[in-house]
Amino acid sequence: MATEAAKAIRDKAAICGVSALLGDYPDRTALSLAVEAFQLALDDAGMSHKDIDGIMCLSYGADYDRFLEATGVETRYAFQGWTHGRFISPTVQQAAMTIAAGLADAIAIVHGKKHKAYGQPVDHEMWRQGLGPHGESPAYGAFGPALAPALAAQRYFHVYGGSADDLGYVCTALRESATLNPIALRKTPMSMDDYLNSRWIIQPLRLFDCCQNNDAAACIILTSAERARDLKKKPVYVSGFQGVHAGRQRHNFTLPGLGVAQQDDFSFRPAKEDLYVYEMADIERKDVDMIMTYDAFSPVVLFVLERFGFCGPGEAIDFIKSEGIGVKGRMPVNTSGGLLSEGHAAGWNLFAECARQLRGEAGERQVKDCEVVQYGSFLGESIIFRN
């Protein structure tokens, strides 16, 4: 059962301002991009920098104090941590809980980044957690994050059937959505033949199975529900959430049960405790109108559909083929084009899309009668947003 504490903070915080910058900015710094994204989000919310008394930034790039110096913001709550990838959802959750506890009135989550150099032989991430958070094994020449989803997808196809070609249904669907998004970086229409003719990165992943490498910045502003109702845009309420599930059975970029690394081999089906997000939000899975997920690599779209029970083990490819994940599909996924086609802002652009869909601001890619959006990922972290 959802705890009384969880019920007490349901819908108590809301997103009131969002922004995302995606592209190539050779003459800009990560800090300058973050400052611009912050100002754009303030404008979106109809707020001033003096209204912000909480800041959350990433653990690399410009420090939070440099950002505050650049913007003239004074805060009573500051946090800096690994707020990207699997931890973007917990960061929003922390902001919502902080506001509900009265530690801040309005929190800006700010991110700015410069793209990585192509062909670089090493990545600093691989030295974390012993070797790397994605299963990198530098001693064997495996330096990049693509290793983990490639292994997971190979194992998935071995267990359930299917092939690398089936990932094209994910990539072409998200690209079709991106063609309707003016700020998407990859919006050239892509056919299945285009996908199949793209070069291999690491089998079974082709070029278009991998997210983009671009400069970016984003800002998400949260405040109390009461205050949000008096601001410029329709509030997007944070209704329910659950955290990253971790341990031996939850290798990054992999569903539990696939037998990757130290995992046991079994067919994963979500139990009640895996779906706490719906209980906290007081909704059922059938109430979800669309899904946003951290699609750094295409297989994770399969995994999130099965992780939350939208289809059974091994059924995600058939679900995508028959039901559709495009804007007009049964379960739209990453309607902005996601990290695969819109651009990579460490995932923060996904939350900007959540807000725009729930406000009815998504233009040609607007999901009809969109009232409930779920952000969720293969490691179990999730948020329910509603309008």
pLDDT digits 0-9 by tens, 27-61 = 999 999 999 999 999 999 999 999 999 999 987 76
Residue 35 neighbours by CB under 8 Å, 6+ apart: 67, 70, 71, 112
Strands 372-376 and 106-113: unpaired
CA distance 97 to 79: 13
> What is the structure's pLDDT at 58?
84
pLDDT of residue 199 exceeding 80, the answer is yes
Our CA dihedral for 363, 172, 332, 83, rounded to 10 degrees, sits at -90
Q: How far apart are CA 145 and CA 134, in angstroms?
A: 5
Contact 75, 68 (CB under 8 A): yes
Count of CB atoms situated within 10 Å of the CB of 249: 18
Q: Which helix (H) or strand (E) holds 77?
A: strand 77-81
Type and span of the H or E element at 214: none
Spatial distance between the Cα atoms of 89 and 101, rounded to a whole number of angstroms:
18
Model confidence over 295-317: pLDDT tens digits? Answer: 999 999 999 999 999 999 999 99
Sign of CA pseudo-dihedral 180, 150, 296, 360: positive
Does a structural domain hold residue 143? no
State what percent of residues in the chain have pLDDT above 90: 82
Q: Identify which of 152, 195, 192, 174 has the alpha carbon closest to the alpha carbon of residue 303.
A: 152
Residue 17 banded pLDDT, cuts 50, 70, 90: very high
Given a cut of 80, whether residue 121 has pLDDT beyond it is: no
Indicate if the pLDDT at residue 67 is higher than 80. yes
**SS3 (DSSP) at 31:** helix
Examine residue 173 and state whether it is found in any structural domain, yes or no: no
Cα angle 149, 323, 151; round to 5: 10
Q: Is the pLDDT of residue 130 over 60?
A: no
Distance of CA 349 to the CA centre of its chain: 7
Q: Is residue 73 part of a domain?
A: yes
Amino acid found at 138: P
pLDDT at residue number 254: 87
Residue range 205-241, pLDDT digits in tens: 999 999 999 999 999 999 999 999 999 999 999 999 9
pLDDT in tens, 178-197: 999 999 999 999 999 999 99
pLDDT in tens, 361-376: 999 999 999 999 999 9
* Side-chain-side CA neighbours of residue 133 (13 Å): 11
Domain range enclosing 36: 4-117+211-386
Strands 106-113 and 77-81: unpaired
Does the bond joining 270 to the residue before it have cis omega, within 30 degrees of 0? no
According to the model, what pLDDT value does residue 115 have?
A: 82
Res. 97: pLDDT tops 70:
yes
Confidence of residue 141 (pLDDT cuts 50, 70, 90): low
CB 196 within 8 A of CB 190: no
Residue 277 has pLDDT above 70, yes or no: yes
Distance CA(19)–CA(10), nearest Å, equals 24
For residue 351, tell me if it sits in a domain.
yes
Per the structure, how many domains does the chain have?
Answer: 1
For 115, which DSSP code? P
- For residue 221, being part of any structural domain is answered with yes
Q: How confident is the model at residue 1 (pLDDT cuts 50, 70, 90)?
A: confident
* Burial of residue 264 (number of CB atoms within 10 Å: 0-12, 13-18, 19+): exposed
Residue 352 belongs to domain with CATH number: 3.40.47.10
| Mean pLDDT for the stretch of residues 67-92 | 93
Q: What is the pLDDT of residues 144-183, one digit of tens each?
A: 788 889 999 999 999 999 999 999 999 999 999 999 999 9
Domain for residue 50, yes or no? Answer: yes
pTM given for the model: 0.94
Strands 215-224 and 382-386: unpaired
- Residue 379 falls inside a structural domain: yes
Dist CA 269 CA 341 (whole Å): 30
Q: Is residue 33 assigned to a domain?
A: yes
Cα-atom radius of gyration of the chain, to the nearest Å? 20
At residue 131, the 3 state secondary structure works out as coil
pLDDT averaged over the chain? 92
